[in-house]
Structure 1
Amino acid sequence: MDEVEVVVAHSERTTLRVGDVFLKVDADQARLDTEVAAVALAPVPTPEVLWHKPHVLAIAAVKGTALGVLGEPSTASSAAWAAAGAAIRKLHEAPLPHWPRRGKDLDELAADLDAECELLVSNGVLPADLVTRNRKVAEAALRPWTPRFTHGDLQITHIFVDGDEVTGIIDWSEAGPGDPLFDLAILTLGHEERLADVVAGYGADVDLDVIRAWWSLRSLSAIRWLAEHGFDPFAPGCEVDVLKARM
């Protein structure tokens, strides 16, 4: 008999797995609506939507295994990482989705980042010099960009491969018009050694300083939320180590 596996569970959303079916329960219906729409539009391998009702979405598992896990070395080949880059480029070249961008504008991003930095220092979570250095690095990400069709939460666990082939990209609830370099940064967060493979597969000139800036910005902004929701940003290879690498 299949068992119920709790994949993610916190106050905002819960994902369960039973056999080859994932059941997503989300307090924000708009996130589920976005996921359904994005899966239908994205020109890359995506999971099959089995059904959806208010606040609940059922999707089928995709073939293969995740490209890796944050905080652990990836066993995927360089070719698999390059294939991920090529798939992301295909997504970014697709027509923009019809819904507006989710998330904050540049002024809001900067204000929230400054607030998180102040809390990290005032509460003794991180040393002031570590925060100050990474806040300076993060500045490069706070610039105008041309919106592309982006995934918006392209963590390493959200791309599945079988050998050197991308078999599925999951969790599209944050998809929409956005900064394409953010997608590349989130995928390679904590796996800087794989950035060259991803960029080679992506096949276009990218500003590596902006990708590194997004690593700092994303890590500084996420630490408090992660800690409050049961995740450990201090685990080896995770957000705090990403910040330390910029020193």
Structure 2
Amino acid sequence: MDEVTVVVAHSERATLRVGDVFLKVDADQARIDVEVEAMALAPVPTPEVLWRKPPVLAIAAVPGTALGRLGEPSIASPAAWAAAGAAVRTLHDSPLPPRTGRAGRSPDELAADLDCACEWLVTNGVLPAGLVTRNRQVAEAALRSWTPVFTHGDLQISHVFVADDEVTGIIDWSEAGRGDALFDLATLTLGHEEHLGDVVAGYGADIDLDVIRAWWSVRSLLVVRWLVEHGFDPFAPGCEVDVLKSRM
């Protein structure tokens, strides 16, 4: 019998791997609905859905290896990063999905969320006020109007798989929907600024790099509290707090 490996587990969801099958357990069936729907619509390689029996979704492993991990150097080639950028462009150029995704918050909603997050970080002494204030200023560039595209919504580098400098699969689509294209590009390059040029070259369009950097601040400011409260470490080298410090 294949060994059971816990990929990720917290109070909201868990993912287990048994051989070449991933079992995703999620009490919120709406997230699973979004994931299944998005994978069916996305014009890029996605995992095969094997079966679904709420609250469990079984999907097949995708070939290749992850583009990298946050907090660790990526061993993927510049060509592989460019291929990831090209795959994201293919997704963004495809017909809009029916739902609004994580990347689809309005500037006003995002500003309110940011202000709450910044207040919590400072009031609870999690981060220095100067660091939070500076990144809140940088984040302002992301609070602008944008044209909605089909976004993945959680395009961490660990969710993009490559082999021979080609994208072989993109996983974890539970946050997909209509949203800001630069949110996806910023999430993909978070903590790996050295590969931003490769991704933009593969994407093949004029990109406002200041907005990408603003999204790095936005994402990091918003996620620190969740990570702390769910047992993860945003203070690990190369992770979210280091991303915030790099904006100083």
Q: TM-score, normalised by structure 1?
A: 0.98
Q: 1:55 to 1:104 in 2, by over 3 A?
A: farther
**Deviation of 1:183 (Å):** 0.2
- 1:190-240 CA distances to partner (integer Å, 9 max, x unpaired)? 000000000000000011000000000000010010011111000000000
Flag as ranges the 4+ runs of structure 1 deviating above 6 A: none
SS at structure 2 position matched to 1:87: helix
Q: What is the match of residue 225 of structure 2?
A: 224
* Distance across 1 between alignment mates of 2:106 and 2:141: 15
Letter in 2 for 1:57: L
Letter in 2 for 1:108: E
**Deviation of 1:86 (Å):** 0.2
Letter in 2 for 1:65: T
**Deviation of 1:98 (Å):** 1.9
- Is 2:72 the counterpart of 1:72? yes
Q: TM-score, normalised by structure 2?
A: 0.98
SS at structure 2 position matched to 1:236: coil
- Is 2:166 the counterpart of 1:165? yes
Q: What is the match of residue 35 of structure 2?
A: 35
- Is 2:204 the counterpart of 1:190? no
Preserved CA contact (<8 Å) 2:155 2:188: yes
**Deviation of 1:54 (Å):** 2.0
The unaligned stretches of length 5 or more in structure 1 are none
Q: Please, which moves more after superposition, 87-96 or 104-113?
A: 104-113
- Is 2:181 the counterpart of 1:180? yes
Q: What is the match of residue 100 of structure 1?
A: 100
**Deviation of 1:153 (Å):** 0.3
* Distance across 1 between alignment mates of 2:215 and 2:78: 23
**Deviation of 1:119 (Å):** 1.1
Letter in 2 for 1:181: L
- Is 2:117 the counterpart of 1:116? yes
Q: What is the match of residue 237 of structure 1?
A: 238
Q: Please, which moves more after superposition, 145-154 or 46-55?
A: 46-55
Q: What is the match of residue 141 of structure 1?
A: 142
Q: Over aligned residue pairs, what C-alpha RMSD do you find?
A: 0.9
**Deviation of 1:32 (Å):** 0.4
- 1:12-54 CA distances to partner (integer Å, 9 max, x unpaired)? 1110000000000111111101111111110001110001122
**Deviation of 1:101 (Å):** 3.7
**Deviation of 1:3 (Å):** 0.9
Q: What is the match of residue 155 of structure 1?
A: 156
**Deviation of 1:245 (Å):** 0.4
SS at structure 1 position matched to 2:205: coil
* Distance across 2 between alignment mates of 1:105 and 1:77: 35
Preserved CA contact (<8 Å) 2:114 2:221: yes
* Distance across 2 between alignment mates of 1:91 and 1:205: 17
Q: 1:100 to 1:186 in 2, by over 3 A?
A: closer
Task: Tell me the number of residue pairs that the alignment of Structure 1 and Structure 2 aligns.
Answer: 247
**Deviation of 1:2 (Å):** 1.0
* Distance across 1 between alignment mates of 2:109 and 2:48: 35
SS at structure 2 position matched to 1:195: helix
- 1:120-142 CA distances to partner (integer Å, 9 max, x unpaired)? 11111111111000000001111
* Distance across 2 between alignment mates of 1:218 and 1:76: 23
- 1:78-111 CA distances to partner (integer Å, 9 max, x unpaired)? 0000000000000000000122345633222111
Q: What is the match of residue 81 of structure 2?
A: 81
Letter in 1 for 2:49: V
* Distance across 2 between alignment mates of 1:38 and 1:188: 22
Q: What is the match of residue 45 of structure 2?
A: 45
SS at structure 2 position matched to 1:143: coil
- Is 2:119 the counterpart of 1:127? no
